[in-house]
Amino acid sequence: MNLINKKVTHEQFGVGSIVKYNDSFIEIHFTSENKKFVFPDVFEKHLELHDQSAAHSLEEMIQKKEMERKKEEWKREEEKKVQRHEQQLRLEHEKLMKNHKLHPKSQMVFWCDSEEQNRAFSDWKVFSAVIKSGTNKGKPNKPIRMHQNSACLLTARDSSVPEKDRRILGVYMVNEDFIGKLCEDGYIPAHSKFRLQLTEEESDQMLFWNYYVNEKLPHKMAWNTGKYRYFDNVWMAQILLDMVSLKRDSEERETAQRFFDHFCKMNQIKEQDLPKPDGALMRIG
């Protein structure tokens, strides 16, 4: 669309002709002087184009620009909504972090099948499984007790051996900013540093039931249903301390020691006050 030399009428300056324009401004020569206006906004109220064909094309262009403006406005508003939502989540997250009170049983132990074992140690995360009944059936379980102080213990039992021979495969602290109450997808990611995977030989020496006990049935070793269960913070500290002793390589032992120290700090546990393991296996006389 070429508007150069096209005649226009301005409500205040009268008749003139267009001498120059671009995407932002238009310059019009009137009888006494040239005037610059915002383009194409000036045509909406103050300026009339004489050429009807050009006026029609200009109207289409104005409508197109208006649609683009509204689209940009909508986009900015949506971005603001996202920002407000993210800010709300951050504030909620900060509040939960600040007001968190230690639960004495905020550790989690998982029963991993062979496929889950491979995935857990490659992706360094586990899935808390789905709810099997009720109004939330099919939705992921929320690990509501888990927080910055929590660790995930990975265990396995071959179908050919009894439950008492369940082995510990490894352990990790949860991700630095993980809050179970806010976990929507059921995945529990690992901390960037505090992760330990045992060798098969080491795992054979770390039996889960040396540490874990059902207080109501202290001599019974049974895992009837479910992929996971919560357990005592002190028991996890005992497990981590034994892992430190288990490591022969000095670098691996140092890594395990740092893990243990961090866990104790997060759970307000003093090593000197830590009792000896007293799980169900230890109570068989």
pTM of the model: 0.66
Q: Check whether the bond before 275 is cis (ω within 30° of 0).
A: no
CB 26 within 8 A of CB 49: no
Where does the pLDDT of residue 276 fall: very low under 50, low under 70, confident under 90, or very high at 90 and above?
Answer: very high
Residue pLDDT, tens place only, 3-21: 899 999 998 899 999 999 9
Look at residue 272 in the predicted model and tell me its pLDDT.
Answer: 92
Q: How far apart are CA 285 and CA 281, in angstroms?
A: 9
| Average pLDDT score, the chain | 89
Residues 6+ apart with CB under 8 A from 172: 124, 151, 152, 190, 191, 194, 195, 196
Closest CA to 168 of 182, 154, 179: 154
Residue pLDDT, tens place only, 46-60: 889 998 888 888 888
DSSP 20-64: EE-SSEEEEE-SS-EEEEETTTHHHHTEEES-HHHHHHHHHHHHH
Residue pLDDT, tens place only, 152-193: 999 999 889 999 999 999 999 999 889 888 888 999 999 999
